[in-house]
Structure 1
Amino acid sequence: MKNLRKPWVLPLIFTIIILVAGGLFIGNLMKNKTPLSSEEIQMHLESIYDGKVETLRLENGVYLAEIMRTDALYSAEIDAVSGKVLVLNQLSKVEEAQPRILSEKEVREEITKKYTGEIERLSLNKNKEQPVYDAEVVKEKALVELQVDALTGEIISEKMKETTTKDVLITREQAIKIALGQLKGEVEYVVFEKTDDGGYYLVEIEQDNEDADDLEAVFHIHAITGEILFVEWDD
């Protein structure tokens, strides 16, 4: 206690306390100014933004990053000491990948797995909510209308077109006879189309030419008069 009474002791104690406190303060200050590692920054960004850090570099105490999310690419500036995001900008939007539409060849292959007849018509229809292929296939000398999913090749619907009706004078068989009278060959299909004036038949005949390509014709035959309205030739 006698030492405390000496005039130089108390100033010395205060000086030591100040030096220790100052040393602790400076130590903490230096510690706080140590930049976070790039690994820590990357983990932090990917955690809060649920994305992937594409690029990351440190410049003048600030980390510059590019972050790819499912919706877009972003740029960010992050305080290197605190990890606080200072700036975040969207660079570009990620375009949503469009589903692939099957080619006509692929759809034909899917149709022939179920139908052995000839495919008379096949066209892509994009006017629906989901794109489909509209097709007509020969089955047992009749035409079947199909709708095929353009993305999967699944047959969505099928409908047999009418081949005859009772409310006409010309029967299906008579229409076939009229067509064969114009072109000898094999009947591919017969379809009846309703109209206000009695309707008409579509009769497709395929002529087998041994010395040339097969000749096909579709005869439009009035169901009341038996008149051949016109002929579609396909050689």
Structure 2
Amino acid sequence: MTSYTKWMISLVILMITVTVFVIWLIQERFFETTEDLTVHEAEEIIMNLYGGSVESIEEKNDIYYMTVLRNNLAYDFQIDSETGNILQLNKVDGNKLPDMSANVKTIEEIRTLLNGQQKGTIHSISYQDVGEQPQYAVEITEQETLKTLIINAITGEILSEKVKQQNSSATHTVTIISSEEAKQIALSQLIGTVEDVVYEDASDGGYYLVEIDGENQEATFQINAVTGKIISVSNQDDDDDEDSDSEDSRDENDDD
């Protein structure tokens, strides 16, 4: 092999090496693959834009769900984990924040609870401090249906549910009160012990039958499950029963 041939082989090898290196640089510069945001990067995006402090963060279906406190207000964020774009921002209702000292469930606990019970996509969760019963208002969409749930913030119980068919020109709304609400309505009329609560379905939304044993009276309340109005009350006085028993006893003694 002549020196010229060796020189040509070396030149070809050098050219191939340089070409491979250039191709590698181009791929790194222009065709680098994008990776999903980490939790820390998602937090940095929100902190740089809005400030405050991150209270909770959860990733589901390529979306980060984040709750942020800023100036004593709570905000719910939804962030695309691939692009870093903020998909949704909701402020928690009013200036009220959940009082965790009262064993109130966090927004993320409510979200986790509903994910196991409800189908569809959770769009917003808003805290509502209603007297002695703090609540969460939750909006969920499933296909053409929008559901608004009122949830006990301590127990996680669904207190009421409102359903709207969004694909209909005339929107139909059906609201069913909970059995707990039906009991409270009946107890507002007669103080006593609730013996039984039964729901009866009907074409107009159904009704509850609530049986209460009061101090001197037993009554059964029929309550409209949609409006919460008392349809009828059937009662029986304990004193009347005792009087009837006494009269029966006297009659038996007279017969003897």
- TM above 0.5, yes or no, is no
Higher RCO (CA 8 Å, separation ≥ 6 residues): 1
Pair member with larger Rg: 1
Structure (1 or 2) with the greater helix fraction: 2
Normalized against structure 2, the TM-score is what?
A: 0.27
Normalized against structure 1, the TM-score is what?
A: 0.29
